[in-house]
Amino acid sequence: MMKNSLILYSLLLCTLLGCLWGTAQGRKLHLGNCVVNIHTHELRHHFQHIRQGMIAGDNNKGIRLLGKEVMNSLQGTESCCFLRQLLHFYMDKVFINYTTSHSLHRRITSVLANSFLSITKDLRVCHANANCECSEGATQKLADIKTKYNKLDQTAGTVKAIGELDSLFEWLESFQHH
């Protein structure tokens, strides 16, 4: 009886450690020919701390920057390039222009920006190895997002873009291969 309990305990411990290891390593996302590790669970966890504040601060609910139909219409081979350009847009335009008096929001957006920077480094390697195909369609979709963003004033556009990150995370999770 004691031996069976010890075996069961050991199996449970190994399972738990395996799950934690998988979370720590991130998920392999297959973006066309590019494979990157992205910690989508961790990104979502951080985002959840500011999500309600972003949604409450969004006064342009009729406008969508990151529409699911836009991202889902991308071909698998275009997804790497689109993501690379989209993350640069967030780092160069959105996070850098975000101002708030909420210290938690500043810290979370800083964590997200640093995570995006790390992901773009992996995507840059894919691009350099010609595994990241940039099509006119992917570039146009990003241009449309930027146009909608620029039609809003800076604060409104920034709040909207950050508030829609859950759509980006959902799209990224669609590339996970288990």
Condensed to tens digits (0 to 9), the pLDDT of residues 142-166 reads: 999 999 999 999 999 999 999 999 9
Q: Tell me 91's DSSP state.
A: I
pLDDT band at 19 (very low <50, low <70, confident <90, very high): very low
75-113 burial, b at 16+ Cβ within 10 Å, e below that, comes to eebbbbbbbbbbbebbbebbbeebebeeeebeebbebbb
pLDDT band at 1 (very low <50, low <70, confident <90, very high): low
pLDDT band at 168 (very low <50, low <70, confident <90, very high): very high
Asked if 175 contacts 31 with a C-beta cutoff of 8 angstroms, the reply is yes
User: How many other C-beta atoms can be found within 10 angstroms of the C-beta atom of residue 134?
Assistant: 16
pLDDT band at 110 (very low <50, low <70, confident <90, very high): very high
pLDDT above 80: residue 66: yes
Asked if 124 contacts 84 with a C-beta cutoff of 8 angstroms, the reply is yes
Between 28-32, 35-39, 40-44, the lowest mean confidence (pLDDT) is in 28-32
Asked if 142 contacts 85 with a C-beta cutoff of 8 angstroms, the reply is yes
CA–CA distance, 9 with 3 (Å, rounded to integer): 10
CA–CA distance, 112 with 23 (Å, rounded to integer): 17
Domains of the chain: 36-173 (1.20.1250.10)
Average of pLDDT values for 91-117?
Answer: 94
Q: Which of 53, 20, 31 is nearest to 165 (CA)?
A: 53
CA–CA distance, 101 with 9 (Å, rounded to integer): 48
pLDDT band at 111 (very low <50, low <70, confident <90, very high): very high
CA–CA distance, 29 with 38 (Å, rounded to integer): 7
pLDDT above 80: residue 93: yes
For the question of whether the overall pTM of this predicted structure is more than 0.85, the answer is no
Which amino acid, one-letter code, is at 16?
A: L
Helix, strand, coil distribution of the chain in percent, nearest 5: 70, 5, 20
Average pLDDT, the chain: 84
Joined tokens for residue 72: 């889902």
Model pLDDT for residues 115-145, shown as the tens digit of each residue: 999 999 999 998 888 888 888 989 999 999 9
